Homo-oligomer: A and B are copies of this chain.
Amino acid sequence: MIMSQIITKVEFAKLVESIESHEGYERPFAFAIGIATCDRRGEVLEVYYPHPNCNANFGTAAVLASLTCHISGNETAILTLAQIESALGYFYPFCEEPGHINIQLLRSIKTAMDEKTLQGDQKIVATFLHKNKEGSLGPVTSVEDAYLRLQLLSHRLVKVNEINLDNLFQVLPNVAWTNLGPISLNELTSRQLEARLNGNWLHVYAVDKFPPMADYIVPSGVRIGDASRVRLGAYLGSGTTVMHEGFMNFNAGTTGPSMIEGRVSAGVEVGADTDFGGSFSTQGTLSGGGKTKIKIGERCLCGANAGTGISLGDDCVIEAGLYITPGMVVAVIDVHGKVVYETKARELSGKSGLTYRRNSQTGKLEALSKKNTIELNAILHKN
């Protein structure tokens, strides 16, 4: 058990060592200090983690774990002012050094608590996530857990499809996102009336399990034309522009620079230097689109009002207005204009260097290769 007191760096190191050597103690895969909003019954609606930690800051984790009696497993604890003061005592030797974001965060929180600027429906939490023996995080266990996983993605600390998101929909509450903050749907009508009768205006901008990402984190090097269309849990690579018509679901993302005017469904990854034209559609797995997650390679040009139900390799083009579904028959055409092959589109999934179009004279679906026949056959038969 640790107590509030001022210590040295050496003492801090010893303290951490002692905590970490506790039987059963596991270094968390991720942890974060958050500010939660609750409804009138005290149920957590959402949590803002300004600085999630992933495979880092194990000393800070150890101290917070010890203060909240956390050992292992995916858990969250409410932090009291006393615990925060204790933590700040232990972090004292580092508090004048720059870059200790968890310490800065705790100090800001302590100030807010001292000055009583937090609202009654806000709580301070510490959340820990651990990988199990199979190397997975296990299913989502709580709202606090869910919001940490989503923020790990949007902070680019984990990649699309890297962490387990099972149970996410079951755990996340459906919330009214308003200009006055998140509101429980049970309380919305009374809050709307209350606002009106006080001459205020309550504007609901979404009713959803997922808030917009930009209300939590805007990663470096991105532009977002309409922030309501990028859900928390999206992974936007640096250099990504999501135009107004673009949409990025949770656990969907781009790995590098790209211009996204189309819709990136949950589970879909888009390679660097790829453009999605306006309304380009990627078939998702959430609603009736099968179980195969689509991946789009690098340097692809995906036309406006087009779409795909198959993966693309690198350097592919889909003509504007053409929607490829896995069961369509495609004529594969070599560099000499000769049909080499006819196959279902799903057999071409993931292949590189193909330009898909619908022949404007015959209505036939074609995939033009940049390769000649022999190379092409080799590519087609390689996985």
Interface residues of A (CB under 8 A from B): 35, 48, 50, 105, 108-109, 111-112, 117-119, 122, 174, 176, 178-182, 185, 188-189, 192-194, 196-209, 212, 214-218, 220, 222-229, 244-245, 247, 259, 261, 263, 275, 277-279, 281, 283, 287-288, 301, 303-307, 309, 319-323, 325, 328-331, 342, 358-365
Contact = CB atoms under 8 A, between A and B. Distances in A.
A215 B229 contact: no
Nearest to A277: B281
5 contacts: A111-B197, A112-B197, A179-B179, A207-B227, A281-B305
A361 B361 contact: no
Contacts of A204: 212, 214-215, 218, 227
Contacts of A229: 226, 244
A263 B283 contact: no
Contacts of A325: 303, 319-321
Given A181-B201, A321-B306, A50 B193 contact: yes
A32 to B, nearest CB: 13
A197 B117 contact: yes
A261 B282 CA distance: 13
Given A204-B212, A208-B224, A307-B320, A197 B360 contact: no
B263 A197 contact: no
B206 A225 contact: yes
Contact of A361 (B109, B319, B365): B365
Contacts of A227: 204-207
Given A204-B227, A207-B224, 5 more contacts: A111-B197, A118-B197, A178-B201, A279-B281, A358-B363
Given A279-B281, A330-B360, A35 B197 contact: yes
Contacts of A223: 174, 207-209
Contact of A303 (B193, B323, B331): B323
Contact of A225 (B228, B321, B342): B228
Contacts of A218: 176, 185, 188, 204, 207
B329 A360 contact: yes
Nearest to A259: B287
A362 B360 contact: no
Contacts of A203: 179, 205, 215
A359 B227 CA distance: 38
Contact of A193 (B105, B197, B319): B105
Contacts of A319: 323, 325
A251 to B, nearest CB: 15
Nearest to A265: B278
